[in-house]
Amino acid sequence: MVSTVYAITLTCIGLIIAVFYFVIVNSKEAEADYQSVTKKWYGFRSKWFLFLITLGITITFLSLNPFPLPDQKKEYSSSEYQVVTVDGHQWYWNIAPVTIKAGQPVEFQVSAADVNHGFGIYDENLKLVAQTQAMPGYTNKLIHTFDKPGKFKILCLEYCGLAHHAMISELTVE
Amino acid sequence: MSAAETSGKIEYSDSVNRNALIAVKAHLIAGLLVFLLMMLGGLTMRAAQGTWLEIGADLFYQIMTVHGVGVVGAAVIASTGVQWYFLRQYVRLSNGIFWTNFIIFLTGVVMILGSIFVGKYGGAWTFLYPLPAISMGAWSNGAAALFQLGVLIIGVGLLILYLDFGRAILARYGSLARALGLTQLFGKEPVDYKHPAAVVASTMVLIVNFLGIAAGAVVLVMGLINLYYPEFKPDALLMKNLIYFFGHVIINATIYASVIAVYELLPRFTGRPWKTNKPFYAAWFAIVFMVMGVYPHHLMMDFPMPSWALIAAQILSFGSGIPVMVVTGYGALMIVYRSGIKWSTTAKLLVLSMFGWGAGVVPAILDAMITVNRTFHNTLWVPGHFHFYLLIGLLPMIIGFTYYLTGEGDSKEETKTVDNLGFYAYLIGAFMTSMVFLASGANSIPRRWAAHLPEWVGYAQVGTVAASLVVIGMLFFIVRALVSLPGASNPR
């Protein structure tokens, strides 16, 4: 997912650079008749607009089906889900239990005791695999299944004061 | 009312015009100087993350706080200068109120600087409730209150200015809908191709900022009450909604205010008109709603948010990229294509701004997809996209306009070497800065971290080099503005 998004971004930025380059190198020679320019490119603009709208509808439909966030009203059964409670404090995490099994979905019940924190799960290559906000007064349910065993890091992803960057904890997946 | 009456220019006395020009220059110079200082702050933070500079976490987060609030403030004050310069040509605006806002702004700046560097406030510019009140002894309630009062007072000044905008627009056009071109869009009046883009854009900015600042005032006051009466505990998610609505709208509106310079100036350099027409009005009408409706894309990792709000934010975020891709950026390219344009630094900057805005849309709308946001939210991808918008979109509009005021755009002389040096240092530095942030985000590096893990340090070091280039480029621009701007007469 991450590398696809990055590749799409680089490609699109590259294409926009190419369009600007084309226009700039074709800017010095003047075409006296601006109307012929507008006629041609207004025509193309309608197609460009329709393309973007179609693209938008397609992406919206594909990316929201199924809805990518866990249902917060659902009661996740303890037989099916491992439950991990997470409490963010300035500046440490209270996580219980800290060891879980691979292959079975985990329900993280994430809250905060003082200010807003961000609960970010990083794998051994320091890639972010899942996150949710930890908010005072709320318990966010984050569902994630770990495919492989390993040592995961928990990093704070919401600025929470002077030792925000030191709010690192560990989660073991067996 | 005839077309001439809706698009003709307002006459002022010479003394009022002279005073107005001084006021606009004051806004630009103040804005650019603050931008330069904030860039130095940004450079410092990148160097610290890259382990080339050792500073304490408390100072890092104070710099981060001043960097955020300072950039927003500089963007607001400089873009207001650009907007006011053009808007007053079509509706009768008051110099006195423009100056009043400026003085109030400076007062707010002093309060904010005091709160950060004397009071040690380091709660980030977003003052995310309840962090200002719970610092674990890093700063006092007084410092947090001073910061929030400083932001509040700046908002009050802007509201006063927008009241003048609203009064003047209504006096000339009768309704905001008519000023936005809606009567033409919906066929109640014939299309007037000379209806000023400055009026359309300013009306949009007026509407969204009025509501955005009102929301900001509400949340600031609630935060202030909480500081002194901790038993008053507003809902954390409600506060987040209000803060991000305010923050998103006010920074977004700066680019919509500054783009007026592109609409007004590119036609002069190309000899081609920028005609307002139905697609133009439709785009700006849509922008009014989209700028206000997209803010929940900051809250996608707040799972208790209603799903409809997040879905709407995703759709509107994609939609908000369309006007620039189809109308403004596209229109700018059409005007430049085979126009015989003379590539002064002014023209280069204005066209660069269109690139920055258009290209910045891509990482922004991707991150505003819920499924993408799960692994990009609060990583350096986020500063990546907004540095694209601000460094390569907004700032070139403001600097381009500043260059225009110095007379550079209309000069018959060849572009000066110093201007070229400044332009290319800035261009390469700004592009690199944004791209390094994006690469860092794609590698999951979190934003707002004073100290980076060893695996991330290389990115920060490249970012430091990039930020140095930005500062060098900006120094050239600032020197040019300080030397040439004060004595420059109003370009005709």
Which residues, including other chains, have CB under 8 Å from residue B364's CB and lie 6 or more apart?
Answer: B317, B321, B385, B386, B388, B389
pTM of the model: 0.96
pLDDT band with cut points at 50, 70 and 90 for residue A135 = very high
Residue numbers in B near A157 (CB within 8 A): 377-379, 446
pLDDT above 80 for B19: yes
> Smallest CA–CA separation between B51 and chain A, in Å?
15
pLDDT tens for B329-364 read 999 999 999 999 989 999 999 999 999 999 999 999
- For tokens 């695999």, the residue is A129
Spatial separation of the C-alpha atoms in residues B194 and B427, rounded to whole Å: 33
> Smallest CA–CA separation between B400 and chain A, in Å?
17
pLDDT at residue A56 in the model: 96
**Residue B463, beta-bridge partner list:** none
Q: Which of A116, A122, A140 sits opposite B303 (nearest CB)?
A: A140
Number of C-beta neighbours around residue A71 at 10 A: 12
> Smallest CA–CA separation between A44 and chain B, in Å?
10
pLDDT tens for B281-317 read 999 999 999 999 999 999 999 999 999 999 999 999 9
How far are the Cα atoms of B2, B32, B179, B196, B216 from residue B173, in angstroms, in the given order?
12, 33, 6, 12, 29
- CATH code for the domain of B388: 1.20.210.10
pLDDT tens for A6-18 read 999 999 999 999 9
CB B373 within 8 A of CB B304: no
Contact A45/B326, CB-based, under 8 Å?
Answer: yes
Would residue B338 be called left, alpha or beta, if left means φ above 0 and alpha means ψ between -120 and 50 degrees?
Answer: left
Domain count, chain B: 1
Burial class (CB in 10 A: 0-12, 13-18, 19+), B260: buried
Q: Give SS3 for B145.
A: helix
pLDDT at residue B1 in the model: 47
pLDDT at residue B2 in the model: 47
Q: Which of A28, A34, A129 sits opposite B272 (nearest CB)?
A: A34
Residue numbers in B near A91 (CB within 8 A): 136
pLDDT tens for B83-130 read 999 999 999 999 999 999 999 999 999 999 999 999 999 999 999 999
pLDDT at residue B6 in the model: 55
Tell me the ipTM for this assembly: 0.97
Average confidence (pLDDT) over B375-401: 97
> Smallest CA–CA separation between A116 and chain B, in Å?
7
Residue numbers in B near A132 (CB within 8 A): 301-303
Interface test with B, best of A11, A15, A34 (most B CBs within 10 A): A34
Task: Show me where the domains of chain A are located.
Answer: 2-64, 82-173
Range from A93-107, B164-178, B398-412, B437-451 carrying the lowest mean pLDDT: B398-412
Range from B13-22, B52-61, B400-409 carrying the lowest mean pLDDT: B400-409
Instruction: Locate the chain A residue with the closest alpha carbon to B351.
Output: A20
Q: Which of B334, B359, B370 sits opposite A16 (nearest CB)?
A: B359
Instruction: Locate the chain A residue with the closest alpha carbon to B328.
Output: A45
Contact A37/B371, CB-based, under 8 Å?
Answer: no
Contact A118/B131, CB-based, under 8 Å?
Answer: no
> Smallest CA–CA separation between A40 and chain B, in Å?
10
Instruction: Locate the chain B residue with the closest alpha carbon to A58.
Output: B315
Radius of gyration (C-alpha) of chain A in whole angstroms:
24
Residue numbers in A near B338 (CB within 8 A): 26-27, 29-31, 37
Domain of B292 in residue numbering reads as 3-484
pLDDT above 90 for A1: no
Contact B235/A116, CB-based, under 8 Å?
Answer: no
CB B124 within 8 A of CB B41: no
> Smallest CA–CA separation between A174 and chain B, in Å?
23
pLDDT at residue B414 in the model: 75
Instruction: Locate the chain B residue with the closest alpha carbon to A27.
Output: B338
Contact A136/B351, CB-based, under 8 Å?
Answer: no
Instruction: Locate the chain A residue with the closest alpha carbon to B301.
Output: A132
> Smallest CA–CA separation between B383 and chain A, in Å?
14
Beta strand pairing call for A92-96 and A82-89: antiparallel
Average confidence (pLDDT) over B417-433: 95
Spatial separation of the C-alpha atoms in residues B318 and B372, rounded to whole Å: 13
Look at residue B230 and tell me if it is in a domain: yes
> Smallest CA–CA separation between A143 and chain B, in Å?
11
CATH code: domain A82-173 is: 2.60.40.420
Contact B122/A157, CB-based, under 8 Å?
Answer: no
**Residue A88, beta-bridge partner list:** A93, A112
How far are the Cα atoms of B81, B268, B270, B460 from residue B409, in angstroms, in the given order?
18, 9, 11, 36
Indicate the Cα dihedral angle B374, B380, B383, B388, nearest 10°: -100
pLDDT band with cut points at 50, 70 and 90 for residue B416 = confident
Look at residue B491 and tell me if it is in a domain: no
pLDDT at residue A28 in the model: 87
Instruction: Locate the chain A residue with the closest alpha carbon to B237.
Output: A135
Instruction: Locate the chain B residue with the closest alpha carbon to A168.
Output: B453
Look at residue B216 and tell me if it is in a domain: yes
Look at residue B141 and tell me if it is in a domain: yes
Contact A115/B130, CB-based, under 8 Å?
Answer: yes
Q: Which of A26, A70, A141 sits opposite B338 (nearest CB)?
A: A26
Spatial separation of the C-alpha atoms in residues A134 and A89, rounded to whole Å: 10
Interface test with A, best of B242, B270, B311, B449 (most A CBs within 10 A): B449
Spatial separation of the C-alpha atoms in residues A81 and A163, rounded to whole Å: 33
Interface test with A, best of B315, B357, B370, B371 (most A CBs within 10 A): B371
Q: Which of A16, A63, A116 sits opposite B236 (nearest CB)?
A: A116
Look at residue B153 and tell me if it is in a domain: yes
Look at residue B125 and tell me if it is in a domain: yes
Residue numbers in B near A24 (CB within 8 A): 336, 351
Which position has the higher pLDDT, A31 or A23? A23
Instruction: Locate the chain B residue with the closest alpha carbon to A18.
Output: B355
pLDDT above 80 for B7: no
Contact B307/A127, CB-based, under 8 Å?
Answer: no
Residue numbers in A near B377 (CB within 8 A): 118, 131, 157
> Smallest CA–CA separation between A101 and chain B, in Å?
22
Average confidence (pLDDT) over B466-477: 97
Q: Which of A68, A122, A135 sits opposite B302 (nearest CB)?
A: A135
Average confidence (pLDDT) over B241-267: 97
Dihedral sign (CA B54, B58, B61, B66): negative
Contact A161/B123, CB-based, under 8 Å?
Answer: yes
Look at residue B489 and tell me if it is in a domain: no
Residue numbers in A near B325 (CB within 8 A): 48, 52
Spatial separation of the C-alpha atoms in residues B148 and B244, rounded to whole Å: 15
Average confidence (pLDDT) over B382-388: 97
